[in-house]
Amino acid sequence: MRAKWWAKNEKRWTKLRALKEALSSNDERREELALHYLRFGNDFETQADRNIRKSYYPQLKKLIIKIKNSKDGESEQAEYLLKEMTDIKEDKLINLWSSLFWK
């Protein structure tokens, strides 16, 4: 079954597309897996993988907010992820300001 699916989808499949589909699927299990990946990555992830994963946040933010506002089983996880996304932006600003003023 998976081999057939992959043969049909391999040319257009991307992690970002898969995350968008999962977050907009109304399937709590798919939402859960996508949110978990966005929050924690996976065990085999490199620093480059983490940076790519974090680069997805702006493109997925509206879908994550929709889950947070839905009050379904994953709304709390979506809320945590949105907070973490905000913290990452603040850390980047702090690092930028530090590099400018503390040379």
Residue type, 79: E
Q: Which residues contact 54 (CB under 8 A, 6 or more apart)?
A: 88
Per-residue pLDDT reduced to its tens digit, 20-50 = 999 999 899 999 999 998 888 877 778 777 7
pLDDT value of position 53:
80
| Reported pTM | 0.74
The pLDDT of residue 44: 76
Cα separation, 54 vs 37, in Å, equals 11
pLDDT at res. 99: 54
Half-sphere exposure of 5 (CA within 13 A, CB side): 3
Q: Is 90 helix (H, G, I), strand (E, B) or coil?
A: helix
Q: Show me where the domains of the chain are located.
A: 2-101
pLDDT of residue 95: 56
Predicted confidence at residue 19, as pLDDT, reads 92
Look at residue 9 in the predicted model and tell me its pLDDT. Answer: 82
